[in-house]
Structure 1
């Protein structure tokens, strides 16, 4: 049995962070009903020409395995149907700007009146309360606002924009919090409202830099380097856009690196300690790259690993998709779309000892493709009533 079998989600989320939270729960077995509208479809249902994608790749990722129904929440009857869906659900999830669900009559108090033990999760830019709660936001803003951006990038360059990893970090935190709320409900019979602020999730990731800042220490951008492992970084190899990642963990590994690629040039010989290597970080990186440029990433990796040095080629997404190890563990899978097209997808990066029945069991839902089940079987609406509601723009 799937871990969350029997759990149902009324999913009002849009874009990436909120949908990724419900996607995680759906992969674990929850039945997730995505409530959307043809009049205002989720922006991620559209192609992303700015990313060079002429298909809705992001939507495929965060919506595979979900059900879809159309619903006009601007219509009172549409909101009534939404509350009825919540009434047969365990979780209600939304990711609008604070205040939107209240104005629709779908706030936590409104939904609790329908389902007393409902667990509601709200994902927003800065939370449901506080002076900044009025702000909307997207992934690059969360990274910039939290301090992550200024920690990311090279010392001689600007802060680096952080995109989807930010949305997914927010979604994963939200999914974890919802699981905690479900456990609490099982123990006490009480639901609850989980308030997840993307900006706060991002700020929680800056770790020791926050401690350093509180002590008056200014943290600098290190690019691909590490403050504790020197040399370490990503080094260019022979070939187009070919790179290898290398990390020297201690003085013993440093000695092994020298034995492998030769004695450093004059001025870099007295680098047997971490402190000495830190002061010559740039020169050491140039010396290592002069060696890696002579071979391919695979050849460099093989030589380094045989010498006890941590190294691996920097893989492209195509390399990841083709990796046999990830396929055998179900981290990369194939799913069939409603059109019949088969594509690769990201599976569950977790293995459960008592079940293999996790992950995506169906592809991206067609808009409104599951209304026979949701409106017919779950809510008991007859076909004539549904047709009338469609004609009147309620189911649309």
Structure 2
């Protein structure tokens, strides 16, 4: 919309003639621009995250740009008046009116004289914006990529931490490993499972206690010296079970597990690495709208004529009557329909390979020798060579 402005177009301190030397920022224009720039900057939280010098420079530069832009408009109005022209102001309708005018369908504009309204067609743009805004496809893609990357990194970190913890346990002495990983209750359960006819675990007290079964002395005695490394004079009775056999069983468990872990480390522990992959995101959106209307009209004329006559000795009388009736009916039926289909999918295709943890990157030569000495057969357990990555499928 346009309207012709009555002179003077610019009121008060802005109604000044153009500067003869060119475009100049007047004090009135600068006073108008400075508060606007300050309000714009100070409404942004990011403005307060930069230092004072950067804020001053930003405010000065933006004020200079905005003031010169306003001065160009100021000079344009002044030049128009100097040439005897009438400046024309172009005004925009309010935002809701612009939205309605922009989104109104061509069919509705061409059928403005129609008694029906295209409600579904007019709502296509609004529904499309609402649906796509609710789905937020860019954020879906970003979260898919971020989640995939974090999962790969977390898996790598967990593998490294687990291998490092394994190395730390294997590097310990048997006594240290036993103190950190084997409990007395585990030793009691081991004895009861190894010698079920001789030893049982009594859980009736405050804490479990390993005891000799009744009649254990009458049974053939197991080879405790060979199994647990105790002296030949140790027998299975209540006093020796808790004081001698439980500590010996605990150390035996620790020694066997320590040797097993040492052998596993020297054989090489595999890890899973991602060699390649693909992340694919897809959004299918379909919307259709339809408006239909039907109008029916009918009209009918109904004419009726009546006549009569009568007579006798005293006279004769005749008469006639004609009536016309006009009947009109109208029927209007309107319907609208809008259908929206959205298909959002994410696909992740990762290719894995198996690699051996390089032991020399986690332990020095002395520690590797200590781990090798902790195996059941040190000479038969050299350090495993790093494996090449397995070919991807």
Q: TM-score range by the shorter chain?
A: under 0.3
Q: Give the helix-richer structure, 1 or 2.
A: 2
> Whose relative contact order is higher, 1 or 2, with alpha carbons under 8 Å and at least 6 apart?
1
Which has the larger Rg? 2
* Greater fraction of residues in strand: 2
TM-score normalised by the chain length of structure 1:
0.21
